[in-house]
């Protein structure tokens, strides 16, 4: 009986000693947990406010907010586990090795991810813009984290990885509200260029879509093989670029016809040289088939 009481007292003392060690650690871990949860909520809310203030793309804001929240939770769990006395060094080493392996395996995807983040943050183009990049010309339909979807003007859909898109030249045809319309024309040799210029400018003046500032201009640019080449330049709103081009090309053609201005076609003069003299032409009599 004395042995049993001594054993109980021994275990009781050990339990009390362990409690003096474990209970403060648990209390400290709980304090860390609740304070960490408050800090995480505060930081995530602050980050979301920053994203809203700078008008970060919604899809990117949601992704980055979730990513930051997960990282902060992992840090909090490691801090709480360390307070409770769990060895976390080996866990961190395993986690780092796994992250390295995943990073090497997903190198291309990570490059596309980084490119998508850069595109969504710096916004070199937006949905609806017309861009020329990676050998593709079309309208941007969607910007995802990994890929950008572009629809060509012949209705083909092109999926472009964001990694290459972010590291190459991009021509944005929709970023500015106005565009310059360029028309290349040719008139026959001997045409009065002053009169031709007045006719072209008069046609452009009648089109309300052509902007007055900068004013339209007509330049004589080249002595062509069969024509005097002219360059016509005017400005219009970006949305009116091609309608202004097509309509005025047709209107100028009709104005040329009304004012007897010849639009030439390629011509060649052929000279035949006979070193032994020009041969005489003989005509064979026609044979009557009857």
What is the reported pLDDT for 151? Answer: 94
Reading the block at residue 28, the tokens are: 């400290």
CA angle 256, 258, 260 (to 5 degrees): 65
What is the reported pLDDT for 182? Answer: 95
Cα atoms in the 13 Å half-sphere on the side-chain side of 280: 3
What is the reported pLDDT for 4? Answer: 63
* Alpha-carbon gap, residue 140 to 148, rounded angstroms: 7
pTM over 0.75: no
Q: What's the CATH number of domain 2-105, 1.10.287.1260, 1.10.3720.10, 1.10.730.10, 2.60.120.200?
A: 1.10.287.1260
Architecture category of domain 125-172 in CATH: Roll (2.30)
What is the reported pLDDT for 70? Answer: 83
Read off the pLDDT of residues 185-215 as tens digits, 9 standing for 90 and up: 999 999 999 999 999 999 999 999 999 999 9
What is the reported pLDDT for 144? Answer: 83
Query: What is the signed CA dihedral for 270, 271, 277, 282, rounded to 10 degrees?
Result: 30
* Alpha-carbon gap, residue 206 to 201, rounded angstroms: 9
* Alpha-carbon gap, residue 78 to 84, rounded angstroms: 10
What DSSP string runs through 235-285? EEEGGGHHHHHHHHHHHHHHHHHHTT--------------TT-PPPP--PP
What is the reported pLDDT for 269? Answer: 72
What is the reported pLDDT for 13? Answer: 65
What is the reported pLDDT for 53? Answer: 83
Architecture category of domain 178-258 in CATH: 2-Layer Sandwich (3.30)
Q: Which residues of the chain have pLDDT under 50?
A: 1-3, 287-290
Write the DSSP symbol of residue 286: P
**Domain ranges, ordered by start, for the chain:** 2-105, 125-172, 178-258
Write the DSSP symbol of residue 210: B
């Amino acid at each position: 009986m004395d042995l049993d009481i001594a054993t109980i007292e021994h275990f009781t003392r050990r339990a009390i000693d362990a409690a003096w060690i474990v209970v403060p650690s648990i209390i400290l871990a709980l304090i860390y947990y609740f304070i960490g949860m408050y800090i995480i909520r505060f930081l995530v809310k602050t980050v979301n406010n920053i994203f809203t203030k700078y008008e970060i793309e919604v899809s990117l804001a949601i992704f980055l907010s979730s990513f930051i929240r997960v990282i902060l939770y992992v840090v909090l769990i490691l801090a709480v586990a360390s307070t409770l006395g769990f060895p976390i060094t080996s866990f961190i080493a395993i986690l780092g090795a796994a992250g390295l392996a995943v990073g090497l395996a997903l190198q291309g995807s990570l490059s596309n991810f980084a490119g998508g983040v850069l595109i969504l943050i710096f916004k070199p183009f937006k949905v609806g813009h017309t861009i020329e990049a990676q050998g593709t010309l079309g309208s941007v339909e969607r910007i995802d984290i990994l890929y950008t979807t572009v629809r060509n003007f012949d209705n083909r859909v092109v999926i472009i990885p964001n990694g290459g898109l972010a590291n190459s030249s991009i021509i944005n045809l929709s970023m500015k509200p106005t565009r310059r319309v360029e028309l290349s024309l040719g008139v026959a040799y001997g045409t009065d260029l002053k009169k031709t210029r007045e006719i072209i400018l008069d046609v452009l003046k009648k089109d309300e879509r052509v902007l007055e500032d900068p004013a339209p201009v007509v330049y004589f640019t080249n002595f062509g093989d069969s024509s005097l080449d002219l360059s016509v330049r005017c400005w219009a709103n970006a949305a009116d670029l091609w309608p202004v081009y097509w309509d005025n090309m047709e209107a100028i053609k009709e104005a040329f016809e009304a004012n007897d201005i010849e639009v030439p076609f390629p011509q060649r003069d052929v000279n035949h040289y006979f070193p032994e003299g020009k041969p005489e032409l003989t005509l064979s009599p026609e044979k009557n088939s009857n």
